Chains A and B, each alone.
Chain A
Amino acid sequence: MAESTGAESSGDVTRLLGEISAGRQDALDQLLPLVYRELRRLAARYMQQERAGHTLQPTALVHEAYLRLTNQDRANWRNRAQFMGVAGQLMRRILVDHARKHCAAKRGGSLVTLDESAAKQLADVSRPEEILAVHLTLERLERLDPQQGKLVELRYFAGLSAEETAEAMGLSVRSVEREWTTAKAWLRAQLAGEEA
């Protein structure tokens, strides 16, 4: 099962990434499902480990997906940047889907625990709500500033570091830090619901 993305698809992913770099849009359409599947799988696994108390490198997930899908090391920065861009977008989708389901289930009241202390122990009580809220607010921001949208996807949804985000976006680390501070401040202000 772990090897479901074998040599064939790693070749595919590398080729597709190359084609995307060459500007072929249909290559992206082919790539997305491959990456999406892998990310979903990894995300689920990582989150389970998270629960079990393992400390994770925040970026480990997307890295691992990249390495698994392409069999390439970090040297091929161009493909890597392409890949990270796609991964950020897909991670956002995965997490938002998950959060939606979670919130729907809560609203549907499929199972409640009327135990306060138990509820407090659940670290992620607000997490899915946060993800959904960030996603919706970000939709407003990216209409004004697509670059900000991409950046938040990479930093927040994919969990890349500033350096990796810089590499993926072709920006300086300093720019990434500045843009991230801005995006974060704006999003938080919106989420806090303060009157403009």
Chain B
Amino acid sequence: MTRERWKRIKQVFQAATEQPAADRAAYVAAETDGDDELRREVEKMLRHATGSGPLDAPAWQGLRMEAPLEAGALLGPYEVVEQVGAGGMGRVYKARDTRLGRTVAIKVLNAEFSHRLRTEGRAISALNHPHVCALYDIGDQDGTAYLVMEYAEGETLRARMAEGPLSTHAVLRFGSEIADALAEAHAQGIVHRDLKPANIMITPSGAKVLDFGVARMLSESEAPAEGVAGTAAYMSPSQLNGNPADARSDIFALGLVLNEMATGTRLFEESKLRAVVPAALAAVIGQCLRQDSSKRVQRMEDVRDELERLRAEASRPRTNRWVKPALAAVVVGLMAATALLTLRMTPASLPRRTAAPVARPEIAVGVPVAIRPEVGSGLPVRLPPPTGPTRAVVRKAPAPAPTALEPPAVTTLASYSGMQRDASFSPDGKQVAYAWQPNGRRGFSIAVKPVEWNGAPTPLTDGFAEDWGPAWSPDGRRIAFQRRAREWGIYYVDAEGGPPKLVAPVARQGAETLPQVSWSRDGKWIAAPDRDQSGHTQIYLFGVESGEKRALTSNYTGTDHAPAFSPDGKSLAYASCAGAVRPCDIYVIDLDRGLVPKTWRRITDVGVYIRGIAWVPNGRELVYSAGRTQSQETYLWRVSVDSPGLSERIEIAGPRARHPAMARSGGLLAYTQLNSWRLMLVRNFR
């Protein structure tokens, strides 16, 4: 069309619109006399000149543009630092938790997901795994839902793959890490449902899986008209058909992710895959991707085990190739349909693993709940694995185990003006830190004194707050403590002095005191109790430098407190109380290297009131303070961790002993004596 032509069209059109509607057709026919093209053009425009249609409303009206949040914007207690990504569900921001001072990642969901995410009453999954990006919180501001997650430095697997396929080494490494995270989740009844490269972060410490259970939260809240949430490209055939996702859907998605990592394409072609990865890896991936989920490998842990085996094998000299029977069994299952069996195994001799689909998953069930059966009956709880001890009959033991050395003896450790409580030995056992309130002072401060010398103690904090429960770090450089009143929180102070540093604020506790905190062996974490949103108290790990906060326990009815890391740092003892302060029992969590709980062991079965737990330096026994009731009568007890049984009462400490502490060597046991508020010392305690 030329300008002149348009001018003419416009002229006829505008003139026609000024004619009465009935005369328009005749007018246009006359005006366009013989120029049919012009007539058709104008008539067409006239047809569209009335009625409603496009361009009726300004372009941006009704359009949803999710506003990027600017730096400094607040979402609840979170302050936005910058946007770090955007995806189908919303934008992701780096943000600061103003309460804890830690950096977090916040995913702000787009409107269409926001309104589907039911936030209230939705507990946070307590999945705690080095390859899971922890979900800390779910919030809602003005109808916009957001997820608060651990901030992981790195890039998504999707971004990484944009640079091309990954090496077999990387596929095996990230693959086994992801599979391990998923296996752990499945063991806890949590299915991911939306595993894809965009949901996997590649960080300096390996892969981290994001958005656990988010897809489920989304679809669940849509009931009854439940849709399918997830990403179509990574959905299993059965999921696409609308069947509920189970663990096997995650296995399918993992297969796709592995295939994509190796080949750079989402399309699964076994021949292409086998051209770039070893046959055994190709077989594992193929087995994850069976269309029929019943023919698929059934358990994520089998996938993980196989990937880990291949990974170990790849890093081992090739001469030492053998397969453990248990793993071989998996591989047989894996490869049955692919006929890829190599010569390394003898199928006939191997048992076939039966399918064990994961039961309908429950989110928010992270760790077992420590409740005694008689208290918790009727409650939906999982008990820790039974460990044998029957209800303890208190047996009086004359003293600690007999020894060829000097007999145990009690002396005063600290008895200055005012009150002292909560002893902690320095690693060399030469000094003791404790909470001290001299007469006339408002609150307790943290003070240090040599064990073998009764000169004036050195106060490390000012005593304007209430600083209780000091804990000396394993390297001897720092002393952690709880500050109550003023600003409640976990703090530490240099053993040499200096200003206290806040590790993390904690919720105000009730009248009851839960002063005990404990350092991880590497000094990077402090275990301490804190109240959760539901008002119950859990043991958390607070990252000393990172500001991170990870729940270790989930007690749905009462209080977990008095955490104590074992001397080797691999276990954590604590008191778990069904009510606010009692009845309590002692549990030990065995932790993996990432301080992720592996197993729970119940150590006592006495249902008492517990006031402090300490490990005996041999790492096989605990000393704890307990009374039948919440009275002042609390004794020290000793119990074996390895073969839990009856607790022995430590008679020498008397009936008002609380908050035991042990030096790493030298047989020194300190405790707080009630009423007199002195620190006492048992020597030769072995």
Contacts and interface: CB of A to CB of B under 8 A. Distances in A.
| A, B co-complexed | yes
A98 B65 contact: yes
Nearest to B239: A114
A80 B648 CA distance: 88
B58 A158 contact: yes
A1 B55 contact: no
A110 to B, nearest CB: 4
Contacts of A114: 227-228, 232, 240, 242
A187 B41 CA distance: 12
B37 A196 contact: yes
Contacts of A127: 62-63
A168 B570 CA distance: 74
A43 B227 contact: no
Q: What bracket does the count of chain A residues touching chain B fall in?
A: 35 or more
A181 B49 contact: yes
A109 B233 contact: yes
A134 B63 CA distance: 15
A187 B54 contact: yes
B45 interface: yes
Chain A contact residues, majority secondary structure: helix
Interface string B1-44: 11100110110011001000000000000000000010011001
Given A127-B63, A181-B49, A110 B231 contact: yes
Interface string A113-135: 11101100111100110110110
Interface in B43-78: 44-49, 53-55, 57-68, 70-73
A58 B56 CA distance: 12
A24 interface: no
A191 interface: yes
Interface string A160-196: 0000000000000000001001101111110110101
Interface in A32-55: 41, 43-48, 50-52
Interface in B104-163: 111-112, 116, 142-143
Nearest to B5: A144
A81 interface: no
Contacts of B674: none
Chain B contact residues, majority secondary structure: loop
Contacts of A133: 54
B387 to A, nearest CB: 46
B258 interface: no
Nearest to B4: A144
Contact of A58 (B6, B10, B61, B67): B61
B61 A131 contact: no
A73 interface: no
A45 B63 CA distance: 12
B229 interface: yes
B27 to A, nearest CB: 16
Interface string B205-243: 000000000000000001001011101110000001010
A59 to B, nearest CB: 8
B232 A128 contact: no
A42 to B, nearest CB: 10
B198 interface: yes
A187 B55 contact: yes
A56 interface: yes
A111 B231 contact: yes
Nearest to A116: B227
B475 to A, nearest CB: 43
B392 interface: no
Given A184-B55, A187-B55, A50 B62 contact: yes
Contact of B59 (A112, A134, A182): A134
Nearest to B219: A115
Nearest to A158: B58
A110 B87 contact: yes
B62 A188 contact: no
A50 B142 contact: no
B3 A145 contact: yes
A180 B3 CA distance: 18
Contacts of B228: 113-115
Contacts of B111: 51
Given A112-B231, A196-B40, A45 B67 contact: yes
Nearest to B44: A189
Interface string A1-25: 1000000000000000000000000
Contacts of A123: 62, 64
Contact of B60 (A1, A43, A105, A178): A43
A147 to B, nearest CB: 11
A91 interface: yes
B46 A185 contact: yes
A115 B225 contact: yes
Contact of B222 (A61, A115, A152): A115
Nearest to B229: A113
Contacts of B116: 118
B54 A185 contact: no
B227 A134 contact: no
B14 A111 contact: no
Contact of B17 (A44, A56, A158, A181): A181
B485 interface: no
A128 B54 CA distance: 12
B48 A111 contact: no
A185 B53 CA distance: 10
A105 B110 CA distance: 13
| In the A-B complex, the 9 residue pairs with the closest CB atoms | A115-B227, A111-B88, A159-B58, A44-B67, A110-B88, A188-B48, A47-B65, A185-B45, A144-B6
Interface of B: 1-3, 6-7, 9-10, 13-14, 17, 37, 40-41, 44-49, 53-55, 57-68, 70-73, 87-89, 111-112, 116, 142-143, 198, 222, 225, 227-229, 231-233, 240, 242
17 contacts: A47-B67, A48-B65, A52-B142, A61-B60, A105-B88, A109-B231, A110-B198, A112-B232, A124-B62, A131-B63, A133-B54, A141-B6, A145-B3, A145-B10, A155-B58, A184-B49, A187-B55
Given A41-B70, A95-B60, 12 more contacts: A50-B63, A61-B60, A92-B59, A118-B116, A145-B3, A145-B10, A157-B59, A182-B13, A188-B54, A188-B55, A189-B48, A191-B54
